[in-house]
Structure 1
Amino acid sequence: MTLQLAPPRQGPPSQAPPPGRWGRFDLKGVPYLLVSPYYVLFAIFGVFPLAYTLWLSLHDWELAGDKTFTGLDNYVKLVTDASFWNAVINTLGMFALATVPQLVLALMLANALNKRLKGRLLLRLGVLLPLVTSVVAVAVIFSQLYSRDYGLFNWILSWFGVEPIVWQNEKWSSWLAISTMVDWRWTGYNAIILLAAMQTIPRDLYEAAALDGASARRQFWQITVPMLRPTLVFVVFISTIGGMTLFAEPVMFEGNPMMTGGTTGQYQTVAMFIVKEAFRDFDMGYAAAAAWLLFVLILVGTMINYGFTRRIRGAR
């Protein structure tokens, strides 16, 4: 007795039923629905304020008065305003004094925290303590440190026969004091970002370099720094935006709400100038024009820093 098995019938391949309206919406509409909250919020709190500020900058409007369309008059007046350019110079000066040392110190600190250290978790957490400290508390402490009569820094300078410095009275001294406040608060933040990027670098690269006889310094400049270039670009961007919009530290250092940045505006930043024009002098159109020029300055500064950062290569 033989058992014969018939070959399976060849039929058309089975096809899934076409999706209905809900199925098509699930495939094509749900992804847009899930990302829409961000764009809705960005349009309300980002795009609309930008557009409204641009429209407002073309008007002469006091806070409690009528709007009068003036075209580009606010921008023409702003370009020839010595007080505005004084604020620009102050902002750029404090930006240079604060950002360059800040990034160098953050890179060195991140490299040190990337080593095998005892209690390195506590050390890594410790560098974030200045960031969570209140700006007011930081300003109070640093104001005491830079006090003319009883400040720590003047006391140290007195050892070398230097006369007490009134840190708030001169450009260079006030810039230096405010820059140290910024560096103390933000260096640890940048160091943590750079440390996270360092930990993604494959260890095989360092082992191969060590076998080839490369020193630790050479490994740092030829492996670590080039591999950190994307993160360095990000850190430079964030530091540029923060430095160009510097506001809290000089306001707290001044100690009064006049937003003048000292008796002669020696440390008034562009952000302080905008707030003074808008909420003390009530010239909203002029303040809006200053805000847009600040936006242009941030773009120019960011592109310049990006041009320098993208040239990073390993040291020869």
Structure 2
Amino acid sequence: MRLSPYLYVVPFFAVFLVVGVYPMVYSGYLSFFSWPRYGPHHGDPVGFANYAHVLQDPVFHKAFWNTIGIFLLSSVPQVILATVIAAMLDTQLRGRTWWRMSVLLPFVVSPAATALIFGSLFADKTGLVNEVIHAVGLPKVGWHSDRLASWTAIASMVNYRWTGYNTLIILAALQAVSSHLYEAAAIDGAGRVKQFFHVALPSIRPTMLFVIVTSTIGGLQIFTEPRLFDTNLQFQGGADYQYQTLTMYVFNTSNSATDPYPRAAAATWIIVLIIITIALLNFAVTRMIQRRSER
């Protein structure tokens, strides 16, 4: 009986070691060598040359800022909107079960279908969004050529798919908050808004931290939406790399002619370090806000 909990979790960790840990370790090892099939060195160690090449690559710089821009336009509004919707669904709405189920419907839609829908909405010439913009007397937007516009279109796809998922997580945490806390706040004269900010949000800080961290990781690893948004069939994130992300950079580098896998592996580990740094920054900021509120 004492061993049964371990037997339940061993299969997961065994599979994780094979398909998760081993590829990570091997990619880290490979990033310090040249690829045996290409180049004159035939698999000789090159030290940090692959990392230096990636960090000096102008395309990587564009991919980095593209990823940060799309992340800020998607993850930040997504968490805020999910929190607001969860707070509304935590009230005594009519048919609240139906409303709670409906917010998850966009998450069920496949990424390819989502890309087709939003690709039609944000088409450069005949898209619905441009038609509406043109109808009110404004010039049409080049959603695939303008950098900020392409970020906005891709972020809209991400928000459409993931807002409902985060909403249900936050809603579950809100429903776990004791009603006695709300009653005590109401006796003190706090209204619904004050109860939300001074009772609900402090009570679900661990859940909010989880949502923020996972949204950060997902936002910095975005690949499917910009890849499917690319209509020039070269899949490089626009003619001038205006919406190529870091993960797209890794994919394209792995298909290049010179040392593809070592340089892609080096780019992957750079992305890992970027994600860890931003996740730790999110954690530190959240802890700082929590400590100030406790004072």
| Normalised TM-score (structure 1) | 0.87
> CA offset at residue 257 of structure 1?
5.0
Correspondence for 1:216 among 192, 199, 208: 192
In the other structure, the counterpart of 1:96 is 72
Correspondence for 2:215 among 239, 245, 251: 239
Does residue 112 in structure 1 map to residue 88 in structure 2? yes
Correspondence for 1:133 among 105, 109, 115: 109
CA contact (8 A) 1:229 1:310 kept: no
Structure 2 residue identity aligned to 1:276: N
Correspondence for 1:309 among 286, 289, 292: 286
CA distance in 1: counterparts of 2:8 and 2:123, whole angstroms: 54
Correspondence for 1:67 among 37, 43, 50: 43
| Normalised TM-score (structure 2) | 0.93
Structure 1 residue identity aligned to 2:173: A
Structure 1 residue identity aligned to 2:114: V
- Structure 2 CA distance for partners of 1:257 and 1:68, relative to 1, 3 Å: farther
Q: Deviations over 1:118-158 (max 9, x none)?
A: 11111111011110101111111111111122212112212
Structure 2 residue identity aligned to 1:227: S
Secondary structure of 1:165's aligned partner: coil
CA contact (8 A) 1:259 1:275 kept: no
- Structure 2 CA distance for partners of 1:129 and 1:31, relative to 1, 3 Å: closer
Correspondence for 1:78 among 54, 60, 63: 54
CA contact (8 A) 1:114 1:195 kept: yes
> CA offset at residue 281 of structure 1?
4.1
Structure 1 residue identity aligned to 2:275: I
Greater shift, 304-313 or 125-134, is seen at 304-313
CA distance in 2: counterparts of 1:138 and 1:100, whole angstroms: 20
Correspondence for 1:151 among 113, 127, 135: 127
In the other structure, the counterpart of 1:35 is 9
In the other structure, the counterpart of 1:55 is 29
Secondary structure of 1:59's aligned partner: coil
CA distance in 2: counterparts of 1:188 and 1:85, whole angstroms: 32
In the other structure, the counterpart of 1:186 is 162
- Structure number with greater Rg is 1
> Unpaired runs of 5+ in structure 2?
none
Structure 2 residue identity aligned to 1:45: V
Higher helix share: 2
CA contact (8 A) 1:258 1:276 kept: no
Structure 1 residue identity aligned to 2:20: G
CA distance in 1: counterparts of 2:155 and 2:149, whole angstroms: 10
CA distance in 1: counterparts of 2:37 and 2:165, whole angstroms: 38
CA distance in 1: counterparts of 2:138 and 2:29, whole angstroms: 53
CA distance in 2: counterparts of 1:315 and 1:267, whole angstroms: 41
